[in-house]
Amino acid sequence: MRAVIVAVGVAFLISLFCTPIAIKVFARLKAGQPIRSNLGLASNEGKKGTPTMGGVVFILATVIAYVAGHLALTTLPDLQIAQVEPTITALVLLGLMVFSGAVGFIDDFLKVRKRHSGGLNKRGKLLGQILVGAVFGVVALYFPSTMTDAKGTATNTETVGSTTLSFIRDIPALELTKVGAVILFIFVVMAATNGVNLTDGLDGLATGASVMVLAAYGLIAFWQYRHWCADPSYTRDYCYAVRDPLEIALIAGAAAGACVGFLWWNTSPARIFMGDTGALGLGGLIAGMAMSTRTIMLLPIIGGLFVIITMSVVIQIISFKTTGKRVFRMSPLQHHFELAGWSEVNIVVRFWIIAGICVAIALGLFYSEYLANVT
């Protein structure tokens, strides 16, 4: 727990105090977010020129906080050595965040350079997401843990990901091949990155929702660490067969802390936007959290707000192409309510409430499954 707290605190402070520096740097570089003024959205007024690519700050803060958390771990001599040293789990999770963010950075850079909201074309962005998902999906499924006890006996041979579909844990009846599991993971990465990206658009909306989702995964991972099958001191039959749960909790906590620090400057009226850099980076990390905690089918509940907003876009497209009519005034859903006369702050707060309810339901399901098996 000490290491997680250190990571959260370091990430928060770096993000809080470095974001103003990023605002000045991006403003000097004229890296302002291109704004379409013909949409009739009240939230767009006065936002032209607001610096974008702010996701760079909380991505770097997360990586630095991870290192700080590991320095704190070295002061705990009774901890498993495989949890003290950097692991493949950290490589996968941080790699997903950094390289998904890199795809978003290219998109943001092209928008700024062209002074147009187009950015990277859909095919390029899609190929980038597929490549990131495929590379880290392979790493997650083909490199098992080598944790051993004092006698040299293997105590944990888990991979970061699993070839089995999972809800609260792996479901043995839903076994996939490794190739099938990698394809599934690519889909999860694409869904999560696009879900967070579509949710972004109002000041603080995606950032605040991501804080709740990441905090939930931090709690899930830490609970798994306290009830971990590979822990020689844990004697109960009921445990979680995952790899490096403390690593997952540390990274989830660091990312959540970094987002809270960024939210100080990103909330209405935003002084900086996360851009696709931040949205895709957060989506990639959230996808990795679902895979590494073996809760892939729980992700649509934890990230319920992202699902709702994504489905509003899907419904709008299908309806318009099949009937020529629009279900919503505009999609994504937050802009429908803008055109209905809701203020930006009201929409953000109410959507945060929805996100919090979804997270609470998911955590309730996770804990209920544990209670059902230990009582």
Residue 81, pLDDT > 60, answer: no
The distance from CA 261 to its chain's CA centroid, rounded to whole angstroms, is 16
46 falls in which pLDDT band (50, 70, 90)? low
Q: What is the dihedral of CA 261, 253, 140, 298, to 10 degrees?
A: -100
Percent of the chain whose pLDDT exceeds 90? 74
* pLDDT at residue 44 is higher than 70: no
Asked if residue 148 is part of any domain, the answer here is yes
Q: Nearest 10 degrees: CA dihedral of 65, 69, 72, 73?
A: -160
Q: With respect to residue 238, please indicate whether it lies within any of the assigned structural domains.
A: yes
Structural domain boundaries enclosing 3: 1-303
Q: Does position 3 have pLDDT exceeding 90, yes or no?
A: no
Give the pLDDT of residue 90. Answer: 94
Residue 138 maps to a domain: yes
For residue 171, give the H/E element and its range: strand 170-175
pLDDT band per the 50, 70, 90 thresholds, residue 45? low
- Position 181 scores a pLDDT of 95
Q: Is 41 helix (H, G, I), strand (E, B) or coil?
A: coil
pLDDT of residue 287: 98
pLDDT (tens digit per residue) in 277-303: 999 999 999 999 999 999 999 999 999
Across the strands, what pairs with 175?
Answer: 164
Q: Does residue 337 fall inside a structural domain?
A: no
Say if residue 38 carries a ligand binding annotation. no
Nearest to 239 by CA among 248, 226, 229: 229
The secondary element (H helix, E strand) that includes residue 216 is helix 205-226
Taken in order 12, 17, 18, 20, the sign of the CA dihedral is: positive
Q: Alpha-carbon distance 73 to 80, whole Å?
A: 10
For a pLDDT cut of 70, what percent of the chain falls above it?
90
**Using CA atoms in the order 289, 144, 239, 163, what is the torsion angle rounded to 10 degrees?**
70
Q: Quick: pLDDT tens for 12-39.
A: 999 999 999 999 999 888 887 776 655 6
8 A C-beta contact, residue 11 and residue 261: yes
Among 161, 147, 156, residue whose Cα is nearest residue 91: 161
pLDDT in tens, 211-223: 999 999 999 999 9
Tokens standing for residue 107: 């998109």
Specify the pLDDT at position 150: 46
Q: Is residue 266 part of a domain?
A: yes
pLDDT at 53: 92
Least confident stretch, 1-10, 146-155, 250-259, 300-309: 146-155
Q: Sign of the C-alpha dihedral, residues 26, 30, 34, 37?
A: positive
- Provide the number of structural domains found in the chain: 1
* Rounded Cα gap, residues 182 and 296, in angstroms: 13
Q: Is a pLDDT exceeding 70 seen at residue 200?
A: yes
Its pTM stands at 0.93
Question: What Cα–Cα distance (Å) separates residue 89 from each residue in 84, 179, 242?
Answer: 12, 19, 10
Task: Confirm or deny that 276 is annotated as ligand binding.
Answer: yes
Average pLDDT value over all residues in the chain: 90
In a domain, 349, yes or no: no
In residues, how long is the chain? Answer: 375
What confidence score (pLDDT) does residue 72 get?
81
Statement: residue 152 has pLDDT above 60: no
Query: Is residue 177 a part of any domain in this protein?
Result: yes
What single-letter DSSP state applies at residue 21? Answer: H
pLDDT in tens, 324-352: 999 999 999 999 999 999 999 999 999 99
Least confident of 93-97, 219-223, 368-372: 368-372
Long-range pairs, 232-239, Cβ under 8 A, ≥24 = 232/149, 232/155, 236/374, 238/370, 238/373, 238/374
Q: What is the CB neighbour count within 10 angstroms for residue 86?
A: 13
Which pLDDT does position 79 carry in this prediction?
54
282 located within any domain: yes
